[in-house]
Chain A
């Protein structure tokens, strides 16, 4: 604190002396500043293109017909089978715009190969319960972390943070062990149950609930509201946007899961699309782009409609010391 106080006090006394400097400096460098701005904007635009490109390419490729995909990428994906396929092109051909926009891949995925839809459904059935129940248990727990006081609560909260910070390589072993004991190994419950109790949502929600002014709660208590009413009528409505953002963050995290199914499920029929997509065989590369695009639709839609919530949620998550 002392340092920043010093900055203020020193500069305040020095303020009048340095005042005339400013306009002069600004005027002199105005042209230069404009140039710098232009360069920065250009740089930002170039990075934005790099950030967007892979996604755009995937979507664009999903509208190519099977033969076009094979002609473009045969060199890459045919190799894994026997290498000697007749349609292999000399060069690979990374293209934005299909020769002819075709929905044939989507048609095949949606109506002819039920396997992909089944895996998509597997993803949904794993992720949706995790998101819903994690939000329910987390908002309850967050309320008690925000309302309760004392040493024990702090210790428990610390344990939550430690669990949250552990990578999958650590947490999967206890998860595996307990699933084995409970006899739920190789079922969806082995992924869903630990997923529900991952402390991430508790962490963010309790940070937000702690910001609710005490005076508001005290006023409600004076009006005769019990704890349940405070939870339901004060905390929950104030956390609405936070709940949205946590839901989005949890959803993406699990929509992306790879580690858990590989370890906890041995039946590949239960695999979510996030794992299955990589096991697609080289003959169906055309389909793979369409499936990949379908798989990103839910998250991209959330992004489109919930970007502000998402940004807010990320900003809330900052700072472990909270």
Chain B
């Protein structure tokens, strides 16, 4: 909104820049108006040097046969990465994990937020304990996870009381369940805070009026609250998606470089490829992932726009 109001101002500065006469440019640099521009320089330079420029270089690398020869091979590297069984396994595992954990993270954290929003006592204590896991470094907590999920561990011990067979949680297909639990444990608190602040921002009068009108809880939730929450749902989904890629930390710290098949994630694949410094593989894999991320996030944005357009402010 603000941007549009003040648009007429912008061309002025641009003109000053465009004149390109050294004297006027120097004058501009020394003038007060230059300060906001100068402010951007350190950060922008850093982002360009460490992220943007090398990213374009890896796009180039992904399309040549090797960094020395530089013969253009177009999509060959992409095809060979996609055919790579390790990459396929890693991509499939990562996608499966994200597909399970992201919706769970959204729904459960929304439920937690509504729980704390329902006027129960000790809200701030509960909030603190739900937030606590995010403050605990993964490395610190991994020992306890090991004690719990090990073949000889506490969980199997507990389950054996009910006559349930021991399961090797970390070295079987059940591993995905474990990391989903660890992921939720760590991330629900952060998401919950986002939902709590969104719930607070729903105009009270609308809810009140709906209550007076005799609207049931379901109606209020699905027809009113959910619409106001939809930007937050989008944000939490994106955030959880990004964080779901970080579950590598837990897996690596629990099981090392070569985990059980079902826990082999894209980051494992990247790490192993980094060790051989295979730039072609690395860069085409990275760009494939970037493309997939852009597509998923773009789709989420479009979905949210459709669903939440009525309450956009």
A interface residues (Cβ-Cβ under 8 A, vs B): 1-4, 7-8, 10-12, 14-15, 18-19, 21-22, 37, 40-41, 43-45, 47-52, 54-55, 57-58, 61, 73, 75-77, 79, 91-92, 94, 137-138, 140-141, 143-145, 147-150, 154, 156, 159-160, 162-163, 165-178, 181, 193-194, 196-197, 199, 202, 210, 214, 226-228, 231, 252, 255-256, 258-259, 262-263, 273-275, 277-278, 285, 288-289, 292-293, 295-296, 299-300, 302-303, 307, 310-311, 314-315, 317-321
Known contacts: A4-B311, A7-B224. The answer to whether A149 contacts B7 by CB under 8 A is: yes
Cβ-defined contact, A48 with B214, below 8 A:
no
Chain B 122-150 residues near chain A, CB threshold 8 A: 122, 125-148, 150
Chain B 262-313 residues near chain A, CB threshold 8 A: 266-267, 270-271, 274, 279, 282-283, 285-287, 289-290, 293-294, 297, 310-312
Chain B 1-52 residues near chain A, CB threshold 8 A: 2-3, 6-7, 9-10, 14, 32-33, 35-40, 42-44, 46-47, 49-52
Cβ-defined contact, B235 with A273, below 8 A:
no
Cβ-defined contact, B271 with A141, below 8 A:
no
Task: Please name all residues of chain B whose beta carbon is closer than 8 Å to the beta carbon of A54 when the two chains form the complex.
Answer: 133, 136, 141, 144-145, 148, 185
Cβ-defined contact, A143 with B36, below 8 A:
yes
Q: From residue A310, how far is it (CB to closest CB) to chain B in Å?
A: 7
Cβ-defined contact, B14 with A150, below 8 A:
yes
Cβ-defined contact, A144 with B36, below 8 A:
yes
A162 to B51, CA, bound (A): 11
Q: Decide yes or no whether B95 CB sits under 8 A from chain A.
A: no
Q: From residue B158, how far is it (CB to closest CB) to chain A in Å?
A: 9
**A-B residue pair count with CB separations less than 8 angstroms:** 333
Cβ-defined contact, B120 with A41, below 8 A:
yes
A173 to B289, CA, bound (A): 11
Chain B 232-271 residues near chain A, CB threshold 8 A: 232, 234-235, 238, 242, 245-246, 248-249, 252-254, 256, 266-267, 270-271
Chain A proximity mask over B102-133: 1 for CB below 8 Å, otherwise 0: 00000000001001101111100111111111
Q: From residue A251, how far is it (CB to closest CB) to chain B in Å?
A: 10
Known contacts: A210-B2, A285-B143. The answer to whether A92 contacts B224 by CB under 8 A is: no
Cβ-defined contact, B227 with A3, below 8 A:
yes
A18 to B289, CA, bound (A): 55
A14 to B214, CA, bound (A): 10
Task: Please name all residues of chain B whose beta carbon is closer than 8 Å to the beta carbon of A262 when the two chains form the complex.
Answer: 252, 271
A285 to B143, CA, bound (A): 9
- Give the number of residues in B that approach A within 8 Å (Cβ atoms): 120
Known contacts: A140-B43, A277-B140. The answer to whether A166 contacts B290 by CB under 8 A is: yes
Given A176-B282, A263-B274: 13 more A-B contacts, CB < 8 Å: A52-B129, A144-B39, A149-B3, A159-B52, A173-B285, A174-B58, A177-B58, A178-B53, A256-B249, A274-B138, A292-B142, A318-B194, A318-B235
